[in-house]
Structure 1
Amino acid sequence: MQTKGHNGDGSLQDAVERGACVLVLSPSIHDATDDACLDLLSLDDPSEQNVLWVAYTRSPDACIQDWVSSVGERPRNLRFVSVGETTRSASAVSGGDGTRGEVVDALSSPGDLTGLGIKLSEVLKAWDSNDNETVACFDSLTALLQYADLQTVYKFLHVLTGRFDAAGVTAHFHLDPDACDDQTVSTLTSLFDTVLELDDDGEWAVRTR
């Protein structure tokens, strides 16, 4: 892998190829993690974007509030798959002007990877007919690993990243390396062409194959 440094205060968009699946290695709770997430989700004009957000650890309400604070204009289409305890009322994410579509799908069982895969495939299929750029966030693999073993998660991600690649989706997946052993991090890293890792100085190391 090639490695280069990237200042934590700058945009990461130029470090990620469109249509790539990216692993973001950083603490689950960190300002730089939140900033990187929103940066990677706002690649284009929001009016020309489909945004898919898989949330294990945060409510849709919190995600949309962060988006509005950082980006401002809501994306053309916004779809949440809210997993387990993060499930909340969709009242705060309804499209007020009638020109944006925001939908929350609830998945009550965090370990139901078959059900999750079906929901994500349905979203991609629904968006296949529009010309918008599709971006996705999976938050987080750290949480997912609490409900499924490494081999199961690896197989799931192998299929999912393949689907994203085929659909031209630019997707990033969060993983807290301090919450996992080295073997887990190494195994999951092998699935991604680009890895962003936050170092102790608050800078991003960008590794590409």
Structure 2
Amino acid sequence: MDYALAIDNVPDSIPGGTGILLLHPSIGETDRIDTDFLKTDTDHFLVISTRTTAREVEQKLEHYDVDESRAVILDTLSVERGYSRRGTDHVHYVSAPDDLDGIVSKTAAFLGSHDGKRRISVDSVTEMAYYADVDGAYEASERLLGLLEEHDAVGLFHLSNEVHGEETIRRFRDLFDVVVELDADGSVSADF
């Protein structure tokens, strides 16, 4: 199954099972790319948020006019920050951004319980590496890519190219079929 893409300077579609690495500057405007990715040609999507709370993700989706009825949010921050939260059908929680097994498990549950065209957004791998470590974030990304392939879904994985060294960036680049780079001026290029 192919998935349409709405990202500048990239092909019009990608096959199911594909993971896209989004390399961006720390202050880069990734929200537009992320929300365009999520709302195009999608029946259901999962936002794995290691950078913002579920409430902030909901505000972003609303601001960019994304159909929230298709959204499931995995909030990895609220519990650690001490916010009292109960999960709903559309919002789930793990204990912290370094609960990588929990993140992978909840993603597998999402992909297994929804059908049609499914997308995931991991915002961000950089935060996973910050809370756990680079090796843990790499292994979790590898496991998530395996789930995408198994379920014929696609994913967008955020990684800041200003925070990590060249060796780490190259390691993640090699893991993904597609690399999209967002420059500080907002221009986008892609390597397939």
Q: TM-score range by the shorter chain?
A: 0.7 to 0.9
Shift of 1:198: 1.5
Aligned to 1:114: 101
1:136-190 Cα offsets, whole Å, 9 max, x none, are 1001011011122222322222221011112111110001110111111111111
How far apart, in 2, do the equivalents of 1:25 and 1:64 lie?
23
Aligned to 1:41: 38
- When structure 1 is superposed on structure 2, of 18-27 and 173-182 the one drifting more is 18-27
Contiguous gaps of at least 5 residues in structure 2: 1-5
1:160/1:73 CA distance change after superposition, 3 Å: closer
TM-score for the superposition, normalised by structure 1: 0.77
Aligned to 1:159: 143
Aligned to 1:99: none
Q: How does 1:161-200 map to 2 (within 5 A)?
A: 161-200=145-184
TM-score for the superposition, normalised by structure 2: 0.83
Q: How does 1:72-111 map to 2 (within 5 A)?
A: 72-76=66-70, 78-85=71-78, 103-111=90-98
RMSD between aligned residues = 2.6
Aligned to 1:139: 123
3-state SS of paired residue (2:25): coil
How far apart, in 1, do the equivalents of 2:154 and 2:97 lie?
23
Contiguous gaps of at least 5 residues in structure 1: 1-8, 95-101
Shift of 1:72: 4.8
How far apart, in 2, do the equivalents of 1:66 and 1:81 lie?
14
Of the two, which has the highest radius of gyration? 1
Provide the identity percentage. Answer: 24
1:162/1:36 CA distance change after superposition, 3 Å: same
Shift of 1:112: 1.8
Contact 2:10 2:190 in 1 (8 A): no
Contact 2:53 2:76 in 1 (8 A): no
How far apart, in 1, do the equivalents of 2:85 and 2:11 lie?
33
3-state SS of paired residue (1:51): strand
1:112/1:72 CA distance change after superposition, 3 Å: closer
Shift of 1:109: 2.7
Shift of 1:134: 0.5
3-state SS of paired residue (1:81): strand
1:59-117 Cα offsets, whole Å, 9 max, x none, are 222222222222353343x21111134776779x98xxxxxxx5211111321212221
Contact 2:129 2:136 in 1 (8 A): no
How far apart, in 2, do the equivalents of 1:161 and 1:66 lie?
25
Aligned to 1:67: 61
Shift of 1:18: 3.8
